[in-house]
Amino acid sequence: MAEITYKDAAHVCEDGETVLDALLRANADIPYSCKKGTCLSCMVQMTEGDVPQDAQKNIRPSLAQQGYFLACMCRPSGPLTIAQADDAVIYGRAIVTGIDKMTPDVCRVWLRPSTPLYYRAGQFVNIRRDDGIVRSYSLASVPRLDRELEIHVKRMPRGEMSNWFFDQVTPGDGLDLQGPNGDCFYVPGTPDQNLLLIGTGTGLAPLLGVVRDALDAGHTGNIHLYHGSREATGIYLADEVRALADTHDNFHFAPCVSGSAAAGPFRAGRADEAAFADHPDLKGWSVFICGYPAMVNAARKTAFMAGATLPNIHADPFDFRDLRHEARDEVEDKPDLW
Amino acid sequence: MTDTLYDRLGGEAAVEAAVDIFYRKVLSDPSISDFFDTTDMDEQRNKQKAFLTMAFGGPNEYIGKDLREAHAPLVEKGLNDSHFDAVAGHLDATLRELGVADELIGEVLAIAGGTRDDVLNR
Ligand code: HEM
Ligand code: FES
């Protein structure tokens, strides 16, 4: 048992309990989402006491040095005094510079951060609207190739953020941006490794970033991208991706449609099934999987059983809880992301 | 002073080399895979590493009581000697696949075997 003080109120953290769980139990106001150390939304600052190393693993060294840690990864061994994270350290401003409604349901949005963001294609950022709502979006842009950040937004029936992007945001609008986060990105150094990328919906965004990054880095191994959707209308940007495949012999693109009758240029069936049928042996491969959580989990396992090692399987880390715990009970059919 | 078994096996690098091979074997063995099937593969992988580190005689925080507690829910679900033997068999096969010398494998299996009563909560 450890005593924790957060925003001047004392709470008890039971043995084995995380600081986040203890604070949520006490109804304290603390943002969170993934509860497993990936989204960084529960970052807080320790002002007195000691935090275990695990709680600082995914945090930039400069922030770790100032005592920042992840409440969801911290099981304290002694008393702790914690302050709310200094907002300016975590969030910066960004301006929307363009919106392209590619289909009735998917748009891409370009953003320019007020201070340069050092990121890798495929990582994700947290975007916060002025009323406090936060969502995570993966980056399709490549720092070397694109001046602006690019995210893909899928309109969700009751998605607060996605409908806002579709119906209200215009170029010049501002928002808060945190990131980059996550380790779903291309790692240079093994140019002849084969890459398998499987994505559904706007899970295409990070994968496209990874593909363009790899091609630009001179990757020589085969790169296979499978993009899946239930309906043909969900396959967006196909012409651009095909153009990329036409100009690079080692890049192969397979758009897959799983619902109704697959038409014309699309493969019938699910993207993950097509990918694993084409590539049953993934020993030595690097695999990237992004999209619907159920697909991601199943595909991770299939890729692993097909011989890819877990460190070589990069999956989108999102869990889709609302980032503000006050809003937890709000009904939203599906997360904004997909 | 002679090196510990853990050092002779190659320490953390050996655990890292073994863990995916071992985990894959366990998941593809229908007699035990249900115990290990989870959506959180990263966490499960860390537990497999804890298991291997321990079996390799490496630094670990586990004592018999912890092993009892960790496996008690599994014993309730029917964990028994045959499952234990299956896991030991996959450990053996993993080390052979990695080309580990016979006498080192013998030492690893002896450590693992020594935990049988704790793991099975007897
Ligand atoms: C051969 C001797 C064994 C040793 C030394 C051993 C050791 C361990 C260790 C150190 C952990 C991690 C505990 C934790 O961090 O929570 C663990 C967890 C686990 N073990 Fe074993 N184990 C053995 C045999 C087995 C067998 C025979 C099975 C089932 C067929 C099994 C199934 C599991 C499972 C499913 C977990 C994860 C439990 C959880 O998710 O909390 N183990 N084991
Ligand atoms: S990192 Fe703590 S909730 Fe996501």
Q: What is the CATH number of the domain that holds A8?
A: 3.10.20.30
Q: If DSSP codes are grouped into helix, strand and coil, which group holds residue A35?
A: coil
Q: Is residue A335 part of a domain?
A: no
pLDDT at position A318: 60
Give me the CATH number covering residue A306: 3.40.50.80
Residue recorded with tokens 């215009």: A170
Task: Judge residue A270's burial from the number of C-beta atoms within 10 Å of its C-beta, 0-12 exposed, 13-18 middle, 19 or more buried.
Answer: buried
Using CB atoms, pick whichever of B24, B39, B45 lies closest to residue A305. B24
Tell which of A25, A54, A88 closes a domain: A88
pLDDT at position A330: 36
Q: Judge whether A227 and A204 are in contact, CB under 8 Å.
A: yes
Give yes or no for residue A104 having a pLDDT over 50. yes
Domain with A65 in it: 2-88
Stretch A70-78: mean pLDDT, rounded? 93
Q: If DSSP codes are grouped into helix, strand and coil, which group holds residue A235?
A: coil
A211 in the same domain as A313: yes
Pairwise pLDDT comparison (B84 vs A37), residue with the higher score: B84
A246 in the same domain as A310: yes
Could you tell me what percent of chain B has a pLDDT over 90? 68
Give the whole-angstrom CA distance, residue A303 versus residue A281: 9
A93 in the same domain as A80: no
Sign of the C-alpha dihedral, residues B110, B112, B118, B119? Answer: negative
pLDDT at position A293: 79
Give yes or no for residue B49 having a pLDDT over 60. yes
A201 in the same domain as A163: no
Could you tell me what percent of chain A has a pLDDT over 70? 92
- What's the pLDDT band for B41 if we cut at 50, 70, 90? confident
A35 in the same domain as A17: yes
- Cβ(A40) to ligand 2 under 6 A? yes
Q: Judge whether A20 and A11 are in contact, CB under 8 Å.
A: no
A295 in the same domain as A246: yes
Which stretch, A31-35, A103-107, A219-223, B68-72, has highest mean pLDDT? A219-223
Look up residue A133 and give its two tokens: 């709502």
What is the distance in A from the centroid of ligand 1 to the CA of B13? 20
Q: For chain A, what is the domain count?
A: 3
Give the whole-angstrom CA distance, residue A161 versus residue B5: 55
Q: How many Cβ atoms are within 10 Å of B51's Cβ, its own excluded? A: 24
Q: Is residue A16 part of a domain?
A: yes
Q: Do A305 and B41 make contact, defined as CB atoms within 8 angstroms?
A: no
Using CB atoms, pick whichever of A36, A305, A309 lies closest to residue B27. A305
Using CB atoms, pick whichever of A36, A307, A310 lies closest to residue B41. A310
pLDDT at position B1: 53
Q: Do B41 and A304 make contact, defined as CB atoms within 8 angstroms?
A: yes
Give the whole-angstrom CA distance, residue A166 versus residue A161: 9
Q: Do A297 and B39 make contact, defined as CB atoms within 8 angstroms?
A: yes
Taken as a whole, chain A contains a residue count of 338
* Nearest-ligand number for the alpha carbon of B49: 1
Pairwise pLDDT comparison (A225 vs B70), residue with the higher score: A225
Look up residue A265 and give its two tokens: 């240029």
Q: pTM score, two decimals?
A: 0.79
B45/A contact by beta carbon, under 8 A? yes
Residue recorded with tokens 């970033």: A209
Look up residue A87 and give its two tokens: 């907002």
Give the whole-angstrom CA distance, residue A184 versus residue A231: 26
pLDDT at position A112: 97
Tell which of A130, A155, A182 closes a domain: A182
Q: Where do runs of H (alpha helix) occur along B1-122?
A: 5-9, 11-27, 33-36, 41-55, 64-76, 81-97, 102-113, 116-119
A118 in the same domain as A207: no
Decide the pairing of beta strands A174-181 and A195-200.
unpaired
Q: Is residue A273 part of a domain?
A: yes
Give the whole-angstrom CA distance, residue B10 versus residue B99: 12
pLDDT at position A299: 92
Angle between helices B11-27 and A293-305 (to 10 degrees): 110
Q: Is residue A108 part of a domain?
A: yes
Q: Is residue A190 part of a domain?
A: no
**What are the tens digits of pLDDT across the range B72-117?**
999 999 999 999 999 999 999 999 999 999 999 999 999 999 999 9
A201 in the same domain as A313: yes
Q: Judge whether B71 and B120 are in contact, CB under 8 Å.
A: yes
pLDDT at position A283: 94
Stretch A76-103: mean pLDDT, rounded? 91
CATH match of B5-119 with 1.10.490.10 = yes
Q: Which atom of ligand 2 is nearest to the CA of A39?
A: 4
Residues 6+ apart with CB under 8 A from B21: B94, B97, B98
Look up residue A159 and give its two tokens: 């998605």
B17/A contact by beta carbon, under 8 A? no
Tell which of A182, A209, A233 closes a domain: A182
A304 in the same domain as A203: yes
Look up residue B72 and give its two tokens: 């008690």
CA distances from A240 to A229, A235, A236, A245, A247 (A): 17, 11, 9, 9, 11
Stretch A121-144: mean pLDDT, rounded? 91
B98/A contact by beta carbon, under 8 A? no
Give yes or no for residue B37 having a pLDDT over 90. no
Cis preceding linkage at A143, omega within 30: no
Q: Is residue A199 part of a domain?
A: yes
Residue A24 Cα to chain centre, angstroms: 24
User: What is the DSSP-derived secondary structure letter of residue A292?
Assistant: S
Give yes or no for residue A322 having a pLDDT over 50. no
Residue recorded with tokens 């910066």: A92
Task: Judge residue B93's burial from the number of C-beta atoms within 10 Å of its C-beta, 0-12 exposed, 13-18 middle, 19 or more buried.
Answer: middle
- Cβ(A323) to ligand 2 under 6 A? no
